Amino acid sequence: METSTEGAAQARGEAAAQPDPQVAAGRTASGTPEAEAEAVTPEAEAEAGAPAKGAEATRTDATAASEAETTAIDPDEAAVAGAPVAVPPAGLSPSRASDFMQCPLLYRFRVIDRLPEKPSEAATRGTLVHAVLERLFDAPAGERTAPRAKALIPGQWDRLRENRPEVVELFEDDPGGERLARWLGEAEQLVERWFTLEDPTRLEPAERELFVEAELDSGLRLRGIIDRVDVAPTGEVRIVDYKTGKAPRPEYAEGALFQMKFYALVVWRLKRVVPRRLQLVYLGSGDVLTYDPVLADLERVERKLLALWEAIRQATESGDWRPRPTKLCGWCDHQTHCPEFGGTPPPYPLPVRAVGSADVAQGRMGPD
């Protein structure tokens, strides 16, 4: 699974390096704007609102295992029956913004249809490692050692299985436990490598697994969860994100920074402070990617997101969600529902209105 994750990450990075397209009602042009480098590993955003507490609970996509109904659903009846109610998208996280840029139909499957997705070894390992690195800072600075961090892994794995029972199926065909032991050993290697990149005895994070949400002047709500926020004595802010995959090649670094610029925009909107540094820590390859943003960067990202949100709005109202085939299709869980693979999407669960002339204007996602 690690190889698949890295392949997907590289494919997304290549797409991100293409020219920025224009986005119109639910379909994209041939290029893809900035996108996250770790496409397969689900990020920590809970799309419908504030996340549950705890790393093992927050670092998952809010994708309920449900089948969408064919026509309008009575919300009261659905609530009584326990069925999920399809609602229009209410905001954006880096993961979901990246989904739409990758493939509008994938966005629909995850956000509107909320189709179930199987857990993967690579994504679950990432969730486990994140939980360990978060919990390590509970210890006094002098006790934040590699042996202590690795000793946290079994307990965090138990908590992850308790909070997300579906991950147990990853090793159902491993009665002897050999594959599980190897998988846990790989998690240990990632945790240990972190100590070669940062010194936790010299760090006192201001925040860990911080849920942030801001509303733009347009009404668009941006939300996400930041792995770590460091604040210097001088007040300068550093946003840090851990990645358990490998760092992208230099020509694809811009795509990898999309998520971080998104977070920087939210922090700026909340605190009116431009973060001094954005830092991606790649545990898979032992690399650290940094970027020092300026206000113009954040304003540019905001314009991109507003154009993206307009395209999502038009697709939501028209029901026109086009698939966009890329190298990432090989890792998609929804091939049986995708027309590109001979599948049929579930009946659209939201009202559809005809697209009028006022709806065809395109929002610019490229340079100013």
Asked whether the beta carbons of 84 and 64 are under 8 A apart, the reply is yes
> 117-151 pLDDT, tens per residue?
999 999 999 999 999 999 999 999 999 999 999 99
CA distance 308 to 97: 8
pTM of the model: 0.77
pLDDT of 188 higher than 80:
yes
Strands 207-215 and 27-28: unpaired
Per the model's pLDDT, the better-predicted residue between 272 and 251 turns out to be: 272
At 206, the pLDDT band (50, 70, 90 cuts) reads very high
Answer for the pair 131, 159: CB distance below 8 angstroms, yes or no: yes
Over the stretch 5-18, which tens digit does the pLDDT of each residue have?
444 444 444 443 33
> Cβ(281)–Cβ(195) under 8 Å?
no
Predicted pLDDT of residue 255: 82
Cross-sheet strand order for the sheet of 207-215: 207-215, 221-231, 237-243, 277-282, 287-291
Domain boundaries, the chain: 1-368
Is the pLDDT assigned to residue 89 strictly greater than 70?
yes
For residues 196 and 212, give the distance between their C-alpha atoms in angstroms, rounded to a whole number. Answer: 29
Q: What is the pLDDT of residue 297?
A: 96
Looking at per-residue pLDDT, the higher value among 229 and 362 belongs to 229
Cβ atoms within 10 Å of 340's Cβ, excluding its own: 14
If one compares 272 and 54, the residue with the highest pLDDT of the two is: 272
Q: Is the pLDDT of residue 246 over 50?
A: yes
* Cα–Cα nearest to 9, from 145, 126, 134, 130: 126
- Give 210-228 pLDDT, tens digit per residue: 999 999 999 999 999 999 9
Which burial class, exposed, middle or buried, applies to 120 when counting CB atoms under 10 A from its CB (0-12, 13-18, 19+)? buried
Give the pLDDT band (50/70/90) at residue 86: confident
Winning range, highest mean pLDDT, from 41-50, 244-253, 310-319, 357-366 = 310-319
CA angle 35, 103, 290 (to 5 degrees): 5
Percent of the chain's residues with pLDDT above 70: 73
Task: State pLDDT tens for residues 35-58.
Answer: 333 333 333 333 333 333 333 333
pLDDT at residue 127 in the model: 97
